[in-house]
Amino acid sequence: MLVLFGGLAACVPTTPEPKPARPDLSTCTSNATHDLVGTPVSLVNTSQLAATVRILPPNGVATMDYNPARLNIETDANGTITRVTCG
């Protein structure tokens, strides 16, 4: 009798697991990435953070144009993230 129930359980359709939502890269997500502060920038996959990511080392040169979709990641001399902002 137990074998019969075990066999029937295999016939029950299962629902597929939902796929993880793709991040919206059209807007900056500095609030969501604030927890990156203190992380080595080399360990961060920047392609999933924003459409445009700019990594700024100390004393680095950057343009002054404002891009609301751009994520700015500032690092210290060791490559550790010190600040994350939009623009």
DSSP, collapsed to helix, strand or coil, labels residue 67 as coil
- What pLDDT does residue 69 have? 85
pLDDT at 86: 87
pLDDT lower than 50: segments of the chain = none
Domains of the chain in start order, with CATH, are: 37-87 (3.30.10.10)
- Cβ-based neighbours of 30, under 8 Å, separated by 6 or more: 71, 72, 84, 85, 86
Question: How far is residue 74's CA from residue 63's CA, in Å, rounded to a whole number?
Answer: 14
Q: What is the pLDDT of residue 54?
A: 92
pTM here? 0.66
Angstrom CA distances, 6 to 1, 10, 13, 16, 27, stand at: 9, 7, 14, 21, 50
